[in-house]
Structure formats: C-alpha cells, structure tokens
Structure 1
C-alpha cells in the first residue's frame, strides 16, 4: 500500500543544512495500523508530511498504491490527496462558520464529482460512523474537544481514502477522550480495511498498533 524509497528531507537554516529525514526506506501493507514513534525533533512529522504529499522531499520517492505521488503535477497531486488520503491533525481545524455536516462535506465538494444531495447524505453517514449524526447541525463552538476531533475524523473519511494519516491526533485531549478516539480510529481501520499511519510520542498508544516504526535522528531504527 505504502512504499518509501530513499526518502530524505533537508531544511536550510542559518547554521547550514539540517537533515530531518535521511534516506528512509519503509513499506506498510494495505489495511495495517502502524505507529511512527520517536522523540521530538526525530523527524517523524517530517516523514509523515512527505508520505501525505504535504511536504516535498529533498530526495526519494513515495508510492501509494503504486502511484509515485511526488511525480504527479501539482494539480494531480492535490486531486490524489483529496481522493486517496485522509488527514487527522493535532487540532481539529474545523471551519467555525460551518455546521459539523458542512465541515465533513468539504472534501467531496472540493472533488466536485457528486451532487449536493449525495454529498450531504454521505456526510451524514460519516458523522454516524463516528457517533455524531445527532450533532450534524451543531457549529464547532457547540462541540467538545472530543466531538470536534470526531468531526475531523469523519471529514478525513469523507472520500473513502485508502490511507488515513494522523499527526499526534489525540495529544491535546484528556486520557479518557484520547482512549475513545484511538479506539474509534482502530475500529475504522479494521472495519474499512483502511491503512492507518499515526505519529505519536505516546508509547502506550503505539503499543496498540500492529506495527511500530521507530525513528531517531531522521533514520528508521530497529
């Protein structure tokens, strides 16, 4: 499902070039739940950004379902991300002036391949998947942090992505809500066959994954 070959990310700083990720080779099978762990500054978020098509590598390739995403045109890469990849970040990042239903619907509206009615029907289904169909009309300020995160997960699933990526998606939540959100993500991965890759510094959460990828100083270590 996911293959990285020689993946490298280098940043230019006042002190000279800094290698955040160094020639990483990584394979993750379809339907797998994998956790990427490492200390702050180890390169795990930089790695995830390149996998998700958000941050261009300095070198190397990322293949998702056999497609080399960084060989695509800018427009092609944007369309691929929207159709095949779902993102859940540390903060829900919902648009405050939109209802939960409309926040969830955004990826499908950007794709422009479905009717408005079909989009709203699917958005309501995705809210039901995360237990929030009764909150479809609510605005973000009317939702708890955990509920906002569930809406963000529903939004990430709107276009039925093959790959779901999360960058510390529960680090700002209380322990009980964190457990609930992680259980939800695992259930989604199992029930849908979605490949789930999460970055976390929480080793207890990582232990629940089918595979743990350790990264230190920009290199995947045994």
Structure 2
C-alpha cells in the first residue's frame, strides 16, 4: 500500500481560555490525488486547521507528515520551499495585489523567490490564464477585475505552481450560487488535470459532498473517517490516549466555564499572548522599515538612441541594523493636460524586476516613451510629469508575514522628444536646456 501524501496525527492548537477556540484534536490521512472536504460552523477551527496543514501555524502538539517529512521538524527555509513548490494555500480572502496586472500577480511568487523570468514561464502563465478564461485580462490591473475574475486568477496562480496538495479555505465564499458552482467545478478540474490532492473548507454541504470524503470539524474535534486505510496497530494506543486527553480537556474546560475554578493552564494563555506580541512587533518593525526606514530619490532621467526615457531612482536602507528586501511591482507615468493627469505606459527595466536586498544604496531603473504631443506647459516647452513607483517591502526574501506596499511619487518638468525651440528660449537657460527639472512633491 502506498504511503499517504499527508498524515496528521493528534493535532492540537488552542487560543486563550475559551473552550471552543482552536483545534482540540485532528487525525487525517490523505492519499495522492484524493479530494477531501471539511465542513463546520463558523469558529469551529477550520481555518486554524488548514493553516497548520500549510505550515503557517505551529501546532501545540501532534505531527504533520507531508510526503514522509514532518513539517515542524524542518527549518523555516525548508517549509517555505515546500509552500512555494508543493503546497498551494488558497485563502478565503482575495490575495491579488491591485496595482499589478493579472499576469504579474501570477508571476509574483517566482519574482519573490528570485527566479529569473523566461519566455517559457510567461507562456506557462498565459496558458493558465487561458484555462480559466482570463487570457484577455492578462494585462489588466487586478483592481479592475470582478469578484469572480479575481477568484479565477487565484486558481490560475495555484495551477501555475503545479502543487502536490491544494489547501482551499472557503474558496467560493461571498459569491452567488451559480458562480459558486462554476468555480468549484473549475477547482476540481484543476486538481484532476494536475493530479493534485485537495482539502477544501466550505460551509456549502452540497459542494462538500461532491468530493471523495466529507469530514466535520465540531467543537474543535475533526469527525468522520480520517482515512480510507485501516488504523495502524501501533498507533492505536496513542489514539486512545489522545481521545482520553480530549475528553479530559473538554470536561475541565466545561467545569471552568461554569464554576470559574478551573481554566486552561496559564502557560497556554501566556504562550498565545507571546505569539500575538511577536507578530505585532514584527509587523510594527516592517511598517517602520517601509515608511520610515527606506529612502528613495529620483536621481536621473536619460534619453537613449531609441527615444526611450530611462529613469533612475536610488534606494537606501536608513536603518542598517534591519534587513530590508524590496520588489519593484509597478510604474505609472502621468502627464498633465489641462486640469487632468493622463496616464502613459511605463515598465521597470529588466534588471530591476527581481527582489533586491537593500544592504547598501541600490539603483533601480524604469523606462517609458510615447508621451503626448499636446500637454499643459507650466514651464515653457516642458511637460509636467508625475511618476508613481510602487514596491513590496519585506524583512526577508521568504517572508513569514505579508509584505507591505509602498508608493513614491516624483514630479518633474520633462523635455519632449521633439521640443519647440521658440518655447524653450523663453526660459533663458544659460546653456543647453536640461532634459528634466526635478520638483518637490505637490
């Protein structure tokens, strides 16, 4: 008999002193390509269970064996690699970055892991978008996608990584019934074509019953047939011990809630508080790095032989004691025409499209052209241009916490490719007119 892809034994994680908060006991055995659903009421611990299976939250006790390896005996780097290449986690929350195009959102994981772009990787991403009927929206910013399109893009991103296991937490929530059915069909189709195993958490019992097995998480305990295989003889004593522990825990918690004489051990509450404090501290550090610890300056704009403007911006880590990693994500160019700002295309240079470790001053470059012939002149003969640069900031190349987004705006007066000499003479420059004149933010 083949070894299971995923084996969960005696998993437990609880928060605070509430009897039903977290997961009290979970056993699960999942074969390759098998599809399992987990249902349960809100607050029963479904999302906590899934995040432990994904290696995102450490259990209080129990083990998670993925492809024969205990996830929580691995290093953080090893777990990150497994999440990048073998386990795909689909959150119940939309996780696209609005300023990126649909295609760039699919390729973001590769960029964060430092993988160089190649025509084949883009072709593969386009194929995934085509399979979810989003090829026409490949270059559309995510903020313009509908709710259903966002979910399909997230499914396409899952497909691109070709995972062995997909963990989906309420992947069809907040959609109408027909859209929910269509997306669930798509998710099953993706798993079948890629031969991926699937664990999906859902409130919809009719959808849950379409998979190979349905389990129920109730009061923190996972019910149902945890495996198609008979329990191993050597694990039976441990299983009975775990069941006794669960019964004892529930009784103790019930007495505590009624008599206020017994509570969850103090160390559990302290440990939970310590983890919350650590998370808040790391988030606070990242926010400080993002908005106060990063110095940026537009230092140059040049015009190459192909009439392409090339802008350069310096990036400085103002707190050298803290690691800072940056991923350029978006460039926007706007030219003033009357009282409005008209957008024009721009891109980061190929050399500036990967993760940058800002351990010293770094220089990023971006490119743009095709500016308008008609524009508002605040300085005679010059365009009034606003440049928006967007980056993702993290304190690690493989961050455990979501990166933060930062946007910088620079204003310049820019010489057109074909300037009007008569208009430029009105400025009385002592020599050649400069290509650009930097302006303070306004």
- TM (norm. structure 1) is 0.93
The answer for unaligned runs of 5 or more in structure 2 is 225-442
Equivalent position of 1:65 in the other structure: 67
Partners of 2:55 and 2:72 within 8 A in 1: yes
Of 20, 25, 28, 1:26 maps to 28
Task: Work out whether 1:107 is the aligned partner of 2:98.
Answer: no
Match of 2:207 in 1: 205
Deviation at 1:101, TM superposition (A): 0.2
Residue of structure 2 in register with 1:164 after alignment:
166
Aligned to 1:147, what secondary structure does the other structure show?
helix
Aligned position for 2:146? 144
Deviation at 1:67, TM superposition (A): 1.8
Structure 1 pair 221–106 and aligned structure 2 pair: CA distance change class (3 A): same
As a proportion of its length, which structure holds more helix? 1
1:13-162 to structure 2, matched below 5 A, reads: 13=16, 15=17, 20-162=22-164
Equivalence for 2:288: none
Cα deviation digits, residues 1-48 of structure 1 (max 9, x gap): 11101111121x2x4786621232110111011101111121211111
> Separation in 1 of the partners of 2:63 and 2:37?
20
Aligned residue in 1 for 2:14: 10
CA drift at 1:195: 0.5
Deviation readout 1:147-185 (Å, 9 max, x if unpaired) = 010111111222211111111111111111111100000
CA distance in 1, matches of 2:85, 2:113: 8
User: How many angstroms apart in 2 are the aligned matches of 1:214 and 1:114?
Assistant: 43
Between the aligned partners of 1:16 and 1:205, the Cα distance in structure 2 is 31
* Segment drifting more, 197-206 vs 121-130: 121-130
How far apart are residue 110 of structure 1 and its match? 2.8
3-state DSSP class of the match of 1:62? Answer: strand
Question: Is this contact kept in 2: 1:99–1:137, CA < 8 A?
Answer: yes
Q: Residue in 1 aligned with 2:187?
A: 185
SS in 1 for 2:125: helix
- Residues 211, 17 of structure 1: CA spacing in aligned structure 2 closer, same or farther, 3 A cutoff? closer
- Kindly tell me the number of residue pairs found equivalent between the two proteins: 220
Aligned CA distance change for structure 1 residues 77 and 111 (closer, same or farther; 3 Å): same
51-60 or 87-96: bigger deviation: 87-96
Change (3 A) 1:16 1:131: closer
Give the aligned CA root-mean-square deviation in angstroms. 1.7
- What is the SS of the residue equivalent to 1:157? helix
Instruction: Tell whether the 8 Å contact from 2:99 to 2:143 is kept in structure 1 after alignment.
Output: no
Look up the match of 2:292. Answer: none
1:207-222 matches, within 5 Å, as 207-222=209-224
Give secondary structure in 2 for the equivalent of 1:183. Answer: helix
Alignment partners' CA distance in 2, 1:114 and 1:159: 15
CA contact (8 A) 1:108 1:119 kept: no
Structure with max Cα Rg: 2
Three-state SS of the structure 1 residue aligned to 2:96 is coil
In 1, Cα distance between equivalents of 2:44 and 2:144? 36
The Cα offsets for residues 88-130 of structure 1, whole Å up to 9 and x where unpaired, read as: 2222221011000000111222333453433322211221221
In structure 2, C-alpha distance between the alignment counterparts of 1:16 and 1:127, rounded to whole Å: 44
